[in-house]
Amino acid sequence: MAGSSHLFEPLAIRDMRLNNRIVVAPMCQYSAIDGTPQDWHFQHYGNLAVSGPGMIVVEATAVSPEGRISPNCLGLYSDACEAGLAQLVRTVKQFGETRIALQLCHAGRKASTQPPWQGAGPLSSADGAWPTLSASAIPYTSNWPAPSEAGPYDLDRLRHAFVDAVIRAERVGFDSIEIHSAHGYLLHQFLSPLSNRRTDVYGGALEGRMRFPLEVIRAVRVVWPANKPLGIRVSATDWIDGGFSPDEAVAYVAACKAEGVDYVCVSSGGLSPDAKIPVTPGYQVELAARIRRETGMLTRAVGLIADAHLAEEVLAKGQADFIALGRAFLDDPRWVWHAADVLRANAFYPPQYLRVQPKLWPGAGQRAGLAG
């Protein structure tokens, strides 16, 4: 429902309409089996949908088994994966008018790892480790296995894997898809000069380094319906000297826009654990603002935006068009309701939960809220 604040204004992207500008960012749950969602995913996404964010982005979902970050990550590369995600989307859409997007990913050299609560390090052979590949044969860190450099056959196979996953995503019923070219995963590995030392047409200057990501995006846009939005996620800086830079991010996003990409989620980092990232509230907003200003692309800001007033301010200043929140939603799945209360806006409540609206429940005034 539209409210009185910028955060609660609707947003149309192609034929997709968001009831507000609040997005649940993709957050890996490391709870899949053979790439298929389990009961955890159903409660997780269903619970997040109840308070009516404009869009939920399903976590990084691998386009091939070897593209999974861990053995417990979601995938969309088999009939079983497709059937499981279709059931998940059908279920979550019963809980309101939230749009459901899917982030498609290949982890590249950061694949074949343990879940975070088991250390997030590379799998051992006893744990079922699998070979990884990347833009160049450069390991993530010195104590990680070196990936193979992707050759012509690998690149062709990877393009087809993204295309096949997108075709499946359309059958599943996702409202939007997002191509993950951030956080040090495969497409980001091509973009950054720190991980791409190739001497062929896919390396060297930015034009070469972004060639393969753009080939993937071009191929995906052809098979994804013209009325549905296509987004990307980008790390606008590696936070390391000599790495992928904000200037290059602007050029890359502009090239993506020319290929039919509709919006960008602006994040940063992830390529190397050596990055020194100044994590403060809204620390990536200026990166998003610059990309929006210089490319004209619809832009989503993300990164420690947990306060409703900060989210509202970012939109009011024209620094972004919508806002994504990650751990803030894990901490408070009803963030949308509490933000609406703080900003004096209207929010969606399912009829089963109408009784907790502040005007109907005196206890609403006793919680901490999001005022900051």
| Active site positions, annotated | 185
CA dist 36 and 204 (Å) reads 38
Half-sphere exposure of 263 (CA within 13 A, CB side): 24
Spell 207-230 as b/e; 16+ CB within 10 A means b. ebbbbbbbbbbebbbeebeeebbb
Which residues 6+ apart lie within 8 Å of 39 measured at CB?
A: none
Which residues 6+ apart lie within 8 Å of 315 measured at CB?
A: 6, 7, 21, 321, 322, 323
Our CA angle for 324, 235, 42, nearest 5°, is: 40
CA dist 285 and 280 (Å) reads 11
Which residues 6+ apart lie within 8 Å of 326 measured at CB?
A: 24, 25, 26, 27, 302
Which residues 6+ apart lie within 8 Å of 199 measured at CB?
A: none
- Picking from 205, 180, 179, 201, the residue whose alpha carbon sits closest to that of residue 192 is 205
First to last CA, the chain: 24
Beta strands in the chain (DSSP E): 11-13, 16-18, 22-24, 55-62, 99-105, 133-134, 148-149, 176-181, 230-235, 263-267, 298-302, 322-325
Q: For residue 321, with 0-12 CB atoms within 10 Å meaning exposed, 13-18 middle and 19 or more buried, which class applies?
A: buried
CA dist 251 and 290 (Å) reads 11
